[in-house]
Each structure stands twice: as structure tokens, then as C-alpha cells.
């Protein structure tokens, strides 16, 4: 049996795929010196807001430039087209079409409206969660008004710790 192929849980993959030397890019930085580039998978994903609230580099919808951090957090909204964009960008990483020097750390999903997700969208989010680390950001009315002061939402404590600058 071949040992250089991955057998799952990547349910979007058909057939065995050779394992990359390191999953989703170069080795992680050591210790607490990690910085992040926020990359939107579609327009209006919330990249500028997230970089304002959590720090890091705002790449908009572009790959990080040479001076930007190599660790990437993909950003998308929780509506149907936003989730489809996230899946499409993950597929680019899987096929090796993203710049090779990047490390994909996870996906940040920003609520597109207050309240619970409809079942079909929730199912899509669970699919993403089976593929990669997903950090959810709830609807924040103050952010809509441009008020980014105060602490990040308590539901994003893990994301806040991940992106914290030492």
C-alpha cells in the first residue's frame, strides 16, 4: 500500500492525492511570533474590519505581498455565495494554485446577518469545519456603524488569542 497519499477526511477530494511536504504551506513560525494576513475570498467579506479589530495585515482580495505575513486567514461571509467562495479558495490551496510560500491557518466566517444560520448554510459551515479550522465571528451591530472600539465579541475568544500580538 502506498504511504504517500492522503485517504481523508477531505470529502471534496476524489481519489488519493499526494501529501504535500507540509499541509497548506511552509512550516509554522515558532513561539508567539506569528502574524497574519487576512485574505477575503469575495468582496465585502469583512477583511478590513477584522484587521482593525484583531490586528494583522489587510490583503483585501489579493494574496499577501512580499512584505506581508505568510500565515493566511481566509475570510468569507456566511451567505451562500460567501461560503462557496471560501470552498473555491480552499480548492485552490488543495490543487497547489495558491502561492507556495503561504501557510493557510484557517477560515474566518463573518455573520452576514444577526441570528441563526438557515439549515442549508449551517450544513455548508459544518462541511468547512470538517476540512479546516473555522473561526466564526457573530453579527456585531456596532461594527456596521464603524464603531470598532471595545473588546472583540466573547464568541471570538479563540480567534483573539490566535491573532494576539505578543
Give residue-wise pLDDT tens across range 49-81.
999 999 999 999 999 999 999 999 999 999 999
DSSP state of 41: S
Q: Could you give the CA distance from residue 11 to residue 157 in angstroms, rounded to a whole number?
A: 29
Of 4-18, 44-58, 83-97, the least confident? 4-18
Residue 52 lies in a domain: yes
Neighbours of 91 (CB within 10 A): 13
Give the range of the structural domain holding residue 135, as residue numbers without chain letter.
32-163
- Report the number of distinct structural domains present in the chain: 1
75 within 8 A of 106, measured Cβ to Cβ? no
Q: Which position has the higher pLDDT, 24 or 159?
A: 159
Give the global pTM. Answer: 0.80
Q: Could you give the CA distance from residue 65 to residue 75 in angstroms, rounded to a whole number?
A: 17
Residue 151 lies in a domain: yes
Q: Which three cell numbers stand for residue 159?
A: 480567534
Residues with Cβ within 8 Å of residue 155, at least 6 apart in sequence: 136, 137, 138
Amino acid at each position: 500500500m502506498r504511504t504517500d497519499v492522503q485517504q481523508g477526511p477531505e470529502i471534496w477530494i476524489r481519489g488519493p492525492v499526494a501529501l504535500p511536504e507540509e499541509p497548506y504551506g511552509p512550516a509554522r513560525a515558532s513561539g508567539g511570533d506569528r502574524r497574519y494576513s487576512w485574505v477575503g475570498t469575495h468582496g465585502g467579506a469583512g477583511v478590513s474590519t477584522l484587521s482593525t479589530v484583531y490586528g494583522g495585515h489587510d490583503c483585501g482580495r489579493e494574496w499577501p505581498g512580499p512584505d506581508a505575513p505568510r500565515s493566511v486567514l481566509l475570510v468569507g461571509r456566511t451567505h451562500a455565495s460567501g461560503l462557496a467562495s471560501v470552498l473555491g479558495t480552499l480548492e485552490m490551496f488543495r490543487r497547489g494554485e495558491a502561492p507556495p510560500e503561504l501557510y493557510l491557518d484557517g477560515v474566518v466566517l463573518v455573520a452576514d446577518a444577526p441570528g441563526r444560520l438557515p439549515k442549508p448554510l449551517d450544513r455548508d459551515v459544518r462541511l468547512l469545519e470538517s476540512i479546516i479550522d473555522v473561526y466564526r465571528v457573530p453579527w456585531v451591530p456596532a461594527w456596521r456603524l464603524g464603531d470598532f472600539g471595545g473588546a472583540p465579541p466573547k464568541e471570538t475568544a479563540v480567534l483573539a488569542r490566535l491573532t494576539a500580538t505578543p
